[in-house]
Amino acid sequence: MDRFVILVDAGYLYAAAGQLCCNTSNRSDLHLDSEKVSHFLRERCGEHCDQAHLRTYWYDGAPDAVPTLDQLRFGEQQGVKLRLGRLTKNGQKGVDSRIVRDLIVLPRNGAVSTIYLE
């Protein structure tokens, strides 16, 4: 199957982009335009591999796994699947294991031939 998938660790993306663009990794100081981010990632990855986009998985932590408004904006987009872990006082739980699971399952099931990890 000549399709690609994008796996986005939102916490890492916010921290890296915030530090690079705004000199802060404090997520509450940052705002990402969900449609522009999704479109940009899809276009760049599609140009790189010249394959069809299966979907983008947006991984993030949320208190009691209840999505925030920003997370819902990402998840409501066509071609985007929101995958939440839990956010605890000690940090996020379950996000990395969801990413690893999808890294294994998607190619094993023949759903994709290329994976971009952001």
Per 3-state DSSP, the chain is made up of helix, strand and coil in percentages (nearest 5) of: 45, 30, 25
Domain count, the chain: 1
Calpha distance 57→105 (Å, rounded): 13
Calpha distance 12→2 (Å, rounded): 27
Q: Which residues does the chain have with pLDDT short of 70? A: 1
pLDDT score, position 18: 83
pLDDT score, position 1: 67
Q: Dump the DSSP string for 55-89.
A: EEEEEEEEGGGPPPHHHHHHHTSTTEEEEEEEEET
Enclosing domain of residue 75? 3-117
